[in-house]
Amino acid sequence: RYTFKEEEAAKAIEAACEKVIAQGFRTGDIYQEGCTKVGTVGMGDAIIKALG
């Protein structure tokens, strides 16, 4: 967003992160019962999928 002046890309990544969190995916540090616990690779894969 700031260094590369990529506001639209930053907004797309934030929206993808919000979508994945809304779908219930959580890494161990933010896991809550009833959610799907994934590692960092799994979270990254889910975010990339949400970007597509």
pTM for this one? 0.88
Report CA-CA distances (Å) from 15 to 2, 11, 49, 52. 17, 6, 12, 12
Domain ranges of the chain: 7-51
Q: How would you write the pLDDT of the chain (52 residues) with one tens digit per residue? A: 999 999 999 999 999 999 999 999 999 999 999 999 999 999 999 999 999 9
